[in-house]
């Protein structure tokens, strides 16, 4: 058995001890850990298959390995030092007088986090608001753009349900019209997807919502081309980046979009309840915040952060999460997530009863994939995987398809994926046990 397989099979701490591999101690600071991880000399392709390296990465997390979490797309655990940073800030805000600690000391430190997020994704700090999740970020845009009765909004039948619900409420309340595009599952022709949207745009279209990565399949859509298509017609585009940012390597500046909303507690591993909103500089003034802000903030990205008293600790600890990701390298992380996806998806796809609803072409997907076992109810399958094997996946039952969504992360081992595949193959061969 080679060294990498040994590490993946028997667990990193025990295997490392036997092999004499030095693993970092994660009781140290994020900066120290970052130096150790970033010293890795291999590029993305070499890193993707280096189980020893990802064993080191996995040691950053406080995990119960009796369970297999394959729903990192819902919400991810944070590394231990991210949790510790948040706790330190919470402790401080409760030991010093809170009005002083929160508003005079901690809140101003958020500007450093804002600047780092902006630099990482290639935009101005004056275009980045720190929010609590994707829903808040996107609803600021969905509800903050003025529309008139009869104006049309264009979105997709596979967009996140809460975002579709937001538009449907505007339709009931204001008389706007919601139009929905249906894209293929999977979609492997960008030109065909663009044509579907082009045909759906009418003279009354005033706003578009586009998912950068579709949450139920992991489908990557041609966002930049869709933004260009809409801009030529004077239509602003809101991009749902909940599953994209921190998942695969790109810059917001490359997309040229007007608005981009994301949760940072998914693929960036930031504290739960953290998100980010990008608004292009010339669009800030015309976008109403969900909670009222003073008129002097009309042209200030910070008006979208006027949410009343809230803990600063969650937001400040985003910095540690960003440091962790930068140490790994977003290109190496992308390669690893795609490698993990292929590890299980290609094995299961060999079975005639398995249908993948996600393309394995790197242009159209990354770490998320959805698979269906024909003749098996997906809700029952997900329940059985959890009840009998303590493997957590998400059941998808959409009007257009069904399956289970599988989302490994950087700490997921090949042994865990093999456990998942073995359990699935029991069902493929024999059906769900009674």
| pLDDT tier, 28 (very low <50, low <70, confident <90, very high otherwise) | low
Can you spell out the DSSP letters for 18-73? HHT-----TTS-HHHHHHHHHT----HHHHHT-HHHHHHHHTTB---TTSEE-BTT
Structure pTM?
0.91
Pairing verdict, β 401-406 and 369-373: antiparallel
Q: Distance between the two ends of the chain, CA-based, in angstroms?
A: 37
Phi and psi angles of residue 407, each rounded to the nearest 5 degrees, phi first? -135, 90
Give the chain's domains with CATH numbers: 3-78+331-429 (3.90.1150.10), 84-322 (3.40.640.10)
Task: Report d(CA 257, CA 414) in Å as an integer.
Answer: 37
Q: Which tokens go with 265?
A: 């507690």
Phi and psi angles of residue 108, each rounded to the nearest 5 degrees, phi first? -60, -25
Pairing verdict, β 354-356 and 369-373: antiparallel
CB-neighbour burial class of residue 346 (10 A; exposed 0-12, middle 13-18, buried 19+): exposed
Q: What is the mean pLDDT of residues 15-44?
A: 60
**pLDDT of 5 over the 70 cut:** no
Task: Report d(CA 339, CA 170) in Å as an integer.
Answer: 41
Mean of all residue pLDDT scores within the chain: 92
Query: pLDDT tens-digit profile of 364-377?
Result: 999 999 999 999 99
Q: What is the mean pLDDT of residues 110-133?
A: 98
User: CB of 211 within 8 A of CB of 186?
Assistant: no
Q: Which tokens go with 402?
A: 């069904």
Helix, strand, or coil (residue 299): coil
| pLDDT tier, 42 (very low <50, low <70, confident <90, very high otherwise) | confident
């Amino acid at each position: 058995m080679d060294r990498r397989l040994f590490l993946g099979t028997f667990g990193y701490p025990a295997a490392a001890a036997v092999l004499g591999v030095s693993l970092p101690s994660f009781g140290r600071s994020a900066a120290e850990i970052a130096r150790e991880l970033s010293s890795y000399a291999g590029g993305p392709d070499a890193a993707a298959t280096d189980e020893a390296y990802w064993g080191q990465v996995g040691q950053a997390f406080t995990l119960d390995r009796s369970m297999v979490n394959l729903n990192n797309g819902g919400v991810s655990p944070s590394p231990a030092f991210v949790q510790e940073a948040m706790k330190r800030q919470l402790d401080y805000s409760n030991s010093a007088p809170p009005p002083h600690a929160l508003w005079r000391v901690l809140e101003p430190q958020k500007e450093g986090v804002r600047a780092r997020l902006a630099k990482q994704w290639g935009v101005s700090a004056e275009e980045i608001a720190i929010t609590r999740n994707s829903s808040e970020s996107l609803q600021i845009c969905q509800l903050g753009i003025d529309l008139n009765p009869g104006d049309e909004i264009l979105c997709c039948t596979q967009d996140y349900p809460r975002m579709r619900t937001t538009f449907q409420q505007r339709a009931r309340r204001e008389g706007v019209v919601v139009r929905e595009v249906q894209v293929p599952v999977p979609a492997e022709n960008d030109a065909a997807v663009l044509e579907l949207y082009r045909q759906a745009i009418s003279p009354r279209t005033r706003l578009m919502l586009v998912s950068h990565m579709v949450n139920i399949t992991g489908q990557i859509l041609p966002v930049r081309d869709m933004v260009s298509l809409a801009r030529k017609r004077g239509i602003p585009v809101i991009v749902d980046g909940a599953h994209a940012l921190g998942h695969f390597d790109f810059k917001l500046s490359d997309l040229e979009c007007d608005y981009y909303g994301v949760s940072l507690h998914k693929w960036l591993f930031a504290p739960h309840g953290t998100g980010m909103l990008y608004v292009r500089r010339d669009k800030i003034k015309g976008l109403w915040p969900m909670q009222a802000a003073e008129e002097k903030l009309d042209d200030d990205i910070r008006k979208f952060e006027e949410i009343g008293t809230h803990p600063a600790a969650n937001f400040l600890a985003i910095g540690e999460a960003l440091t962790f990701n930068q140490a790994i390298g977003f290109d190496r992380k992308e390669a690893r997530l795609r490698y993990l996806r292929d590890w299980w998806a290609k094995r299961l796809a060999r079975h005639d009863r398995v249908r993948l609803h996600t393309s394995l072409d790197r242009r159209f997907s990354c770490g998320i994939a959805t698979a269906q076992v024909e003749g098996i109810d997906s809700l029952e399958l997900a329940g059985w995987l959890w009840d009998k094997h303590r493997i957590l996946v998400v059941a998808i039952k959409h009007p257009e398809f069904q399956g289970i969504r599988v989302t490994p992360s950087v700490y997921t081992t090949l042994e865990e994926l093999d456990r998942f595949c073995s359990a699935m193959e029991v069902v493929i061969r024999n059906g769900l046990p009674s």
